[in-house]
Every structure is written in structure tokens, then in C-alpha cells.
A and B are shown apart, each in its own frame.
Chain A
């Protein structure tokens, strides 16, 4: 069921709250005189409530409670998962600057949910466990890669500051080792989930007979997903070939996430009865 305009408006409100929270956080990070306050966290909480409201409303409207049954639902769920991951990380072992990267990613996911939900809505017709596992593992893998992407960006930022020998401002960035570990953890979890997603996708393709006519070779979604898999395999290769650690690993995690976004967009646009 196509999301209603009211549901879209609620998601817009969530985006607005997130944008305000991001602005407050960046302003505090760049200027020493801005005192710490609870406002950014409050706006993030309001955004979470708005997003959850829109999601539950949509589920009630279509009278189905399985997540990721359509693209609006899936993208909105993904944004909530990324938000929850960020909140968990900041609550347990805060990483300075993590919300600067993650909040725009969440806003981007919600905007794409609104856009593709209205303009190019499609139902996934999740009828089998394989299908559901395929969708869920791919989207959750994307959430983990988002964390790796943020870790990679922050690593490059911290590394640049250290190479330029700049004095840190009122708050020091997280250590390079911590950021490298964060990136690595995101890549390990995301890679495992993506592998499950690819395997279940192959199973579904065989069930639908898509391998018979080689249609999968022309599907950008599949090609891009495989490219993402190779990129992150290189990142995980670092213990064997240590020249892939550090700066290279950070760049690969950024490039891999960018390709992942393209794969998600391709999955939205390309859904015309091709390989599911």
C-alpha cells in the first residue's frame, strides 16, 4: 500500500528534527564556546518517535506486521536501525563525531523512503523465509556498513589532524585504533550479513528460474552487490595483507558504502519484475 501523505509528512517532521539535531551537534563541535546541552539528544529522540509512528501507522494500514514488505517500509526500518545503532554506540562507548556522519545518512534514508515510497512504490511480496531473510540481511548489512563508513570517515579526519600536527580543540577525537576497530567491526558484521543476503538471493533466483536466462548478469543491483562484497572482502583481507590497514581500509569502507547506496538505489529503481 502506497504511504499516505500524512505518513510522508510525519517522516518529513522526523527529517526536520534530525537536521536540527545535526546542526546543533556540528555547531558545538566547531565552536569552543557553545556549551553542551541535551537539545541534540532530545531532537534525535523526537525524530525516532516520529519515524516509528510513521512505520507503525504504515504497518497498521497495510494490515501486516512483517517488516521490509515494501520499499517504503524497508528504507524507513533501515533508518531506524542505523539510528538505534548510533544511539547504542554513543551510550556505551561514545565516538566523538559519529553523529556528524550518521545523522545525514539517516536523513538520506528517510528522504529516499519518502521519494521511492511515493514515486516508485513496490511491494516485495515476501512469501518465503528465503525472501525475507534475503531482504532483511541485506538491509541490516547496509546498516553495519554505515557504521563502518562513519568509522572510516572519522579515521581519515583524525589521521589528517595528527599528520598536520594540529592541537585538538576542547574535545579530542577518538583514537585511531578505536576508529579502526569500529570500522573493522562494522565491516565484519556487514560482510557476514551481505554474504547471507547474496546466498539467499541466489537461492531465490534459482527458485524463480532467473539463472536460466542469465538475466542476473544485466541486473545492476546484483552486480553492485557483488562489487560491494569484493570491496569489503579486501578490507577483511588486512590481517593477511597488512598493507590494506589504516588509511586504505578507511577509504575502502567509504567506497564500499557508496557502492552499497548505489545498489540500494538500483534495487528501488530496477524493480520491474526482474530478479527479486
Chain B
């Protein structure tokens, strides 16, 4: 049976330039999901982050639609040559697909193992798909269990302990460029949530001046007041770039905001002072050619995450040991209690238990505390956005409140 399928690209298989072209905004994802359901009558979820773009499908008919059709669909949706899509995507079916999702939610497939943003992003992607009415019994059960597994890994293992954040890497690199920050100017382009999280860390450098530039002047003013800076409109961006020493960019722009043609003439006005760009947006806000200029140090999200991964590797971080040696109860295991270690290391068994049609029914409702209907969509949770980056900003993820538990008759299987 090849009904479950995941087709995607991630940081290991596709360069950042391709991933930013393939990324889906919330609106684009919603439209694509609706299109998929109309074409193939399949359940679908699109997970789009700065590290990956993945399409999860529960196909109504065995092996239909085919992989080639989905390659073409993705290529058509994003305007990417189909050969490029084929060269940089991977696909898994059934157990392998479920196992892949579990690895993703447990951040084992992330560039920075143990990062905490992926769980919220997968949840947002699932909630968007559910809200669009394109999920069904297979993907509902799969995603709910995967999210529960991801949460359990974070709370019951040491996987996330000692992780570095890209914010700390950004601060560290700023210190490798500049010695004294009291006479330096920090420019924040964009006033979104991710930019503010990073700004909180950069503020510990105590720069002499802070400028907030945003398309929405009112929002820029609010952020400037919060952080003790001065707001400017985007029309004054060149002027702000002349005085800036550290530039943090995180806008929703689909095109680069700071281009080579725009920035090069400013270098002489800046007296060729070194400048540090931290571009955490996807698609990128700063054109890569800007980074080729002398005295310009441009770090995009991939660069920061690579440094984090290298640093963790150098520090010799061990694979996640369990925080507790006592057995822990896996929510979705029909067999009751299983050790946390075996649960962590055998995501395939959990995936199998999710997919197997011959699973034993739960002995009692307490053995399967997962809700029998999908969690209600929280109105406060933001829609999936692929144009702002994500990982490891050391901030607690937005969480939806747990749904009320409903008593079920004995013997029912814990899926819909």
C-alpha cells in the first residue's frame, strides 16, 4: 500500500536559493492545498520553513497521483524547472514517510538538532491544512501523533539541552567584527516576531544607536519605543544604511530589499566601514552579491545555522540521552508504557503503529489520551509563513491550548 507520501526538499538536498523559490507563504499554501484536493481528492499538508518545503499526501488511490505528477505540480506552482525539482527532492512512502515526519517534529532532521521552532511550524502547517478542510483520518492521526512525539522528546530527553541559537551565533559574530559597540548603529529592517526575538539578543551588545525601519510606520514606532530606538520609513533606508554597522533584516518582501546596485554606491559614503548583515528572511532580503563587497559580512539563515551545527559538532554534543531512565508513557502507544529511550530511538515503531490497520484497540481511553477529534484551531496562532525565518531563536513556541478530552466507548481505535 503506497497511500502515504512525503515529497520535499530540505537543507541537505537543496541550496537556499532553490528553497526560497520553493517556499510557500500561508496564502500560497492554502491555494496549493485546495488545488491538490480538487485534482486528486487527496489529504494534504504543506510544511514550508526556511529549512524545508515538504508536501505530505494521503492518496485516495494506490500510488495515485504519481511522484512525477507531483514534481510537475510543484514545478508549476513555484515556476521552477521540473528537472531542478527532481534533482533536489526526496520522497518517502508509508512507513518511511511517517518515520520522516516523526524525525522532523523531533528536530532530528533539522540542521540544528534539538531546535525548537520546527514543532510550532509543523503544527501551524497542519492547522492551516485542517482549517482548509484538506486533511482526513490518515493525516489527522499521523500529525497529531507526530506532534505529541515531538513534544515528548523535548520534555523527556536532553535533546534540546545545550543547544545554540542563531541569535547567540549572530551576537558572537558581531563581536568578532567589532570591538566597541557604544559608537555603533544597529539597523533593524522589518518589525516582525522573528526580528524582534533576534533584536532582544542583539541589544545586549548595547549599541550606541538603534534604528527600526519598516514599511508600516506605526509598527516601526511601536517597536522603536519598546527598544529605545528611532523609527524610519523605508524611503530613508539608504540614509539609514550609511550610518548602520549591524543590519538585521527580516521582512516579508518577495524580492531583495537591499540590492548590490543600491548598496555599492553607499560604501564610499560609509567610508568603507565594515558592516555586518544578518538576513534571517526567506526569501532573502539582501542580495547575495552584496556579500561580495569588501568590508561587508553577510550571513543568511543557512550560514548561521551551519555555524551553529559546526560549533555543536566541535563541542562534541552526544546523541540525546534520556533525561529519565524510568519508563515513560507514550501517548499513542496501544501497548501502554514504553521506555523513553526506546520511544526516542524507535520512531519507526511508532510510525508503524500509527499506520497499521490491524492495531489493537486501546484497552481504555486512558491508554490513548490523544483526542479523537482534531485540536481546535486557536485563533491566536499565526498562519504559516515561510518568509520569516525560524530556527532556534531561543523563544518559547506559540502553543495552542489542548483540546478537551472526550470519553469514547471501549474498543474504539484512536484514529479518525
| Residues in A lying within 8 Å of B, measured CB to CB | 32, 158, 162-163, 165-170, 172-178, 181, 242-243, 245-247
Contact = CB atoms under 8 A, between A and B. Distances in A.
Contact of A175 (B177, B272, B299, B314): B177
B310 A175 contact: no
Task: Tell me if A's interface is mostly helix, strand, loop or mixed.
Answer: loop
B37 to A, nearest CB: 42
A172 B272 contact: no
A32 to B, nearest CB: 7
B173 A162 contact: yes
B274 interface: yes
A178 B179 contact: yes
A165 B303 contact: yes
Nearest to A32: B314
A177 B179 contact: yes
8 contacts: A162-B173, A167-B311, A172-B176, A175-B176, A177-B180, A245-B271, A245-B295, A247-B295
A176 B274 contact: yes
Given A165-B299, A167-B307, A167-B310, A242 B177 contact: no
A246 B176 contact: no
Contacts of B307: 165-167
Given A165-B306, A167-B307, A245-B295, 19 more contacts: A158-B176, A162-B173, A162-B176, A165-B307, A166-B310, A167-B308, A168-B172, A172-B172, A173-B176, A175-B178, A176-B176, A176-B274, A177-B177, A177-B180, A177-B274, A243-B268, A245-B271, A245-B272, A246-B294
B168 to A, nearest CB: 12
Contacts of A176: 176-178, 274
Nearest to B272: A242
A175 B311 CA distance: 18
B297 interface: yes
A242 B178 CA distance: 17
Specify which of A167, A169, A242, A246 lies most central, judged by the most chain B CB atoms within 10 Å of its CB: A167
B179 to A, nearest CB: 4
Contacts of B299: 165
A7 B10 CA distance: 67
B360 interface: no
B178 A163 contact: no
Contacts of B308: 167
Contacts of A181: 179
A163 B180 contact: no
B175 interface: yes
A8 B227 CA distance: 65
Interface in B275-310: 294-295, 297, 299, 303, 306-308, 310
A172 B274 CA distance: 19
Nearest to B302: A165
Contacts of A247: 294-295
A242 B314 CA distance: 38
A181 B180 CA distance: 11
A38 B407 CA distance: 70
Contacts of B295: 245-247
Contacts of A173: 176
A167 B179 contact: no
Contacts of B173: 162
Nearest to B164: A167
- 10 closest pairs, A vs B, by CB? A167-B310, A242-B271, A177-B179, A167-B311, A178-B179, A242-B272, A175-B179, A167-B307, A165-B303, A246-B295
Nearest to A245: B272
Contacts of B314: 32, 167, 169-170
B385 to A, nearest CB: 26
Contacts of A158: 176
A170 B315 CA distance: 8
Nearest to A168: B176
Nearest to B270: A242
A170 B310 CA distance: 12
A181 B178 CA distance: 11
Contact of A246 (B179, B272, B303, B306): B272
A168 B273 CA distance: 23
B270 to A, nearest CB: 8
Interface string B249-287: 000000000000000000010011110000000000000
